[in-house]
Amino acid sequence: MNDPLAKIMDNGLSFVYGSYSALDKYFNIKEPGTVCIHTEEPIETMARIVGNLVFSGLPFEDAAVETEKTRYSFKFVDDLKETGPAPFTAMKLLYDPVQDKFYDSSGIYPDLRNSLLVKDGSQVHPVIYLMEAAKLVSRYHYTFKTDFKVTEREAISLKEEHQKDLLVSILLGRFTEKGLNLLHETGFIDYYWPELQSMTSVKQAKDYHPEGNVWKHTLETFQYRKKVNLRLSLGLLLHDIGKPVSTGTTSNPFTNHSEHGVKIAHKFLKRLGFEEQTIQDVLFLVRYHMLPAGLPKLPLYKTETIMNSHVFPILLELYRADMSSSFWGPDKYYEACRFYRNYISKKSRIY
């Protein structure tokens, strides 16, 4: 049994859901995300039962454990019905899954359904406020207003774990484009993730991309996801990241942008500490994101290995979102799907 939550419950340890997990329950959010656990148990007990606890140093987190599918965040408290400091009042909601009961010792219920996030008054750096706001607006209905700008003077050092946690949290939200846009408008992306910022300066032909530059196109692709998936979302974020360094002709200005994109995406994902398998899967998506358009025309010996990859179904989803956010529309996606289904059908009859 590798499920930390099941181990906690089987051993009768006390806990409640806090922060994002309590909000997920309150708003009936089904998308995957970090499981936020508050517990009165000693840290030694939790480490013995759960195992593999790590201390990431993330704000508002004492320890964590990560499985193949889920990240579990732990906060050790003196009273399960009380919450400590939090950047925003909405993050102070608690939920007891055993008794199916919410706790609101801070009286924040009126703030939960407000459209605008309300600061709790905790003394945290503006960058931390901004990061948590980006997570919240990506996952829920909230908006966040701020005049703060990330500059050389205002920036703080962020460990790779902090940046990875932020990016994953945003990408696993149903409103990913809201969180990314907030980080862009406040200068966070320009300072911390310049690889992404470079896409804002690259214009695209309006005959094919009415949404404008590469960055705006990238954000729009997230609106066409049918299911939130980390590899798909990373692929959408990075599929055109090679365009800013590509050169070509007037009719084809982005020659070899997929190959350039693989190199840039690899450095970006490596720098943020993503696991090697995740990196390789995302690089597959970046490298071949244009290939589905040519499936019916390309010889099988050039595409068979690619179609046999476990990532290929995700590639088709990326292609659908990419085409749907342009004037091309999804017709070529459906054509690629028919070709792929026929290939799988013939392969099954042979083997």
50 and 160 co-located in one domain:
yes
Query: Chain-centre distance of CA 67, in angstroms?
Result: 17
Average pLDDT per block of 10 residues along the chain, 351 residues long: 85 94 96 93 92 84 88 92 88 94 92 93 88 97 95 92 95 97 97 94 64 86 94 97 76 73 96 96 96 90 92 96 83 92 81 56
d(CA 223, CA 290): 19
Of 127, 153, 168, the domain-final residue: 168
> Does some domain include residue 340?
yes
> Does some domain include residue 213?
no
Instruction: Say if CB 291 and CB 315 are below 8 A apart.
Output: yes
d(CA 59, CA 124): 9
Of 150, 168, 186, the domain-final residue: 168
pLDDT at 274: 96
d(CA 314, CA 309): 10
68 and 161 co-located in one domain:
yes
83 and 160 co-located in one domain:
yes
> What is the crossing angle of helices 312-324 and 276-287, to 10°?
50
Q: Which domain holds residue 133?
A: 4-168
pLDDT at 115: 95
Per-residue tokens: 66: 């990560």
> Does some domain include residue 232?
yes
pLDDT at 18: 95
96 and 241 co-located in one domain:
no
pLDDT at 209: 53
37 closest CA partner among 27, 325, 28, 7: 7
144 and 21 co-located in one domain:
yes
pLDDT at 255: 66
pLDDT at 27: 96
pLDDT at 257: 85
15 and 146 co-located in one domain:
yes
117 and 246 co-located in one domain:
no
> Does some domain include residue 176?
no
Instruction: Say if CB 272 and CB 197 are below 8 A apart.
Output: no
Per-residue tokens: 97: 């899954």
155 and 12 co-located in one domain:
yes
- Could you tell me the CATH number of the domain that includes residue 147? 3.30.460.10
pTM of the model: 0.92
pLDDT at 350: 62
Looking at the 3D structure of the chain, how many domains does it have? Answer: 2
What's the per-residue H, E or C state across the chain?
CCCHHHHHHHCCCCCEEEHHHHHHHHHCCCCCCCEEEEECCCHHHHHHHHCCCECCCCCCCCEEEECCCCEEEEEECCCCCCCCCCCEHHHHCEEECCCCEEECCCCCHHHHCCCECCECCCCCCHHHHHHHHHHHHHHCCCECCCCCCCCCCCCCCCCHHHHHHHHHHHHCCCCHHHHHHHHHHCCHHHHHCHHHHHHHHCCCCCCCCCCCCHHHHHHHHHHHCCCCCHHHHHHHHHCCCCHHHCCCCCCCCCCCHHHHHHHHHHHHHHHCCCCHHHHHHHHHHHHCCCHHHHCCCCCHHHHHHHHCCCCHHHHHHHHHHHHHCCCCCCHHHHHHHHHHHHHHHHHHHHC
**Residue 302: how many CB atoms within 10 A of its CB?**
11
Is beta strand 71-76 parallel, antiparallel or unpaired with respect to 94-96? unpaired
pLDDT at 74: 94
d(CA 272, CA 75): 24
pLDDT at 201: 83
Residues 6+ apart with CB under 8 A from 203: 212, 213
Instruction: Say if CB 88 and CB 133 are below 8 A apart.
Output: yes
Phi-psi region of 346 (alpha: psi -120 to 50; beta: other; left: phi over 0): alpha
126 and 263 co-located in one domain:
no
> Does some domain include residue 174?
no
> Does some domain include residue 58?
yes
102 and 34 co-located in one domain:
yes
Instruction: Say if CB 240 and CB 246 are below 8 A apart.
Output: no
pLDDT at 248: 63
d(CA 218, CA 312): 20
160 and 262 co-located in one domain:
no
163 and 229 co-located in one domain:
no
Of 135, 150, 168, the domain-final residue: 168
pLDDT at 236: 97
> Does some domain include residue 134?
yes
pLDDT at 11: 92
26 closest CA partner among 121, 116, 92: 92
d(CA 73, CA 64): 4
> Does some domain include residue 231?
yes
